[in-house]
Amino acid sequence: MRILLTGGAGFIGLPTARALTAAGHDVVVLDSLRPDVHASGTVSDAATTLPDGARLVRADVRDLDAVTASLDGVDAVVHLAAKVGLGVDIADVDDYVSSNDLGTAVLIRAVAAAGVPHVAYASSMVVYGEGRYVCTGAGSGEHGVVAPGPRRVEDLDAGIFDPRCPRCDAVLAPGLVGEDAPLDPRNVYAATKVHGEHLLAAWARETGGTATALRFHNVYGPGMPRDTPYAGVASLFRSELAHGRAPRVFEDGAQRRDFVHVDDVAAAVSLAAAHPAGPGVTPLNVGSGTVTTVGGMAQVLADVMGGPAPVVTGEYRAGDVRHVTASSDRAAEVLGWRARIGLREGIGELVAAPA
């Protein structure tokens, strides 16, 4: 198959390009090499890191002519190009919407005109907002699965970080979120990811095409962005430890996440590109299947790097999500995929990679 890979020179894009070419696909990479993502932003540097046989087109996914030209002979599209992270403040909103919403709209317009039947789309766990919660109340499963409202400032100030049941006020117990959970985007980036899924659903209904929305959980590994407001928590902790400083962990450090290695993510994307689930849009969680706390991630990094132990600060940001962890069982059923790289092994690879 010939596959167009947008954002293919990025953190997730490069391992995906390698996975696709290793599977025998002909890969065309379209990437803008924007400087807030790529330190050098040069075609020569990007070209030398792509796997043999992959062709690089330097262009923005919002450039209809460039995207259209890149679709010549393409059988499927992997759409990773996006502005990622949670941003800095509301001043980021127009760039997020332009890069992500308009970028996806331009792409699917070109895809529809070219008659490409399948798109694998990089969505995110952030579409869920908070994860899955069960109210135990006065007894086991008192109110069942419930959707918590915003956490109270007075609770946060008192060190009560878990959300409460909207019916009885009991502190809720977290669980694993499945793809059928309601979507509740709580920041601009999350809103653009939800909108991307909806745009693809409209395209699929109109054209009969299929899309797989891969809801990545906390992706980490070699090559991840660092020292920027858009970096992931593993990268931020690594940077602190590299400077001899203890990583600072907010709240009580017990926030639950699912950290999945970038090579495992790339394997899932490669399978999704070649195996449409159809019809319409099929959402799939892409996580490790292992629950790890943010404090636990910081401690593993400190152990591997031989640095100071994390400092749990008790500080909080009122809008932060408390717990979101995935069930990736559907990806196993649909794609035959499961993550293979354990956290300590993956952190070792991250630490060994060039900073």
Its domain, for residue 161, covers 133-173
Residues 33 and 164 in one domain: no
> Alpha-carbon distance 258 to 328, whole Å?
10
Residues 50 and 114 in one domain: yes
Q: Which residues pair with 146 in a beta bridge?
A: 133
User: How many structural domains compose the chain?
Assistant: 2
Q: Cα angle at 242 between 17 and 299, to 5 degrees?
A: 85
Residue pointed to by tokens 């991840």: 224
Residues 204 and 99 in one domain: yes
Q: Which positions ≥6 away from 126 have C-beta within 8 Å?
A: 86, 185, 186, 187, 189, 190, 193, 321, 324
Residues 17 and 152 in one domain: no
pLDDT of residue 87: 59
pLDDT of residue 227: 60
Residues 159 and 141 in one domain: yes
Q: What are the Cα distances from residue 130, in Å, to 147, 151, 156, 301?
A: 8, 11, 16, 25
Residues 208 and 162 in one domain: no
pLDDT of residue 44: 53
* 273 domain residue, yes or no: yes
Q: Cα angle at 183 between 180 and 185, to 5 degrees?
A: 155
pLDDT of residue 12: 96
pTM: 0.94
Residues 76 and 125 in one domain: yes
Residues 264 and 146 in one domain: no
Residues 147 and 281 in one domain: no
Residue 259 token pair? 């950290």
pLDDT in tens, the chain (355 residues): 999 999 999 999 999 999 999 999 999 999 999 887 676 555 556 556 899 999 999 999 999 999 999 999 999 999 999 998 765 578 889 999 999 999 999 999 999 999 999 999 999 999 999 999 999 876 656 789 999 888 999 999 999 999 999 989 999 999 999 999 999 998 899 999 999 999 999 999 999 999 999 999 999 999 988 765 555 789 899 999 999 999 999 999 999 999 999 999 999 999 999 999 989 999 999 999 999 999 999 999 999 999 999 999 999 987 788 999 989 999 999 999 999 999 999 999 999 988 6
* 300 domain residue, yes or no: no
pLDDT of residue 219: 95
Which listed residue (189, 220, 230, 316) is catalytic? 189
Residues 280 and 333 in one domain: yes
- Grouping H, G, I as helix, E, B as strand and the rest as coil, residue 310 is coil
Residues 14 and 157 in one domain: no
pLDDT of residue 123: 98
Q: Do 145 and 132 contact (CB within 8 A), yes or no?
A: yes
Helix %, strand %, coil % for the chain, to 5?
35, 20, 45
**Is position 121 annotated as part of the catalytic site?**
no
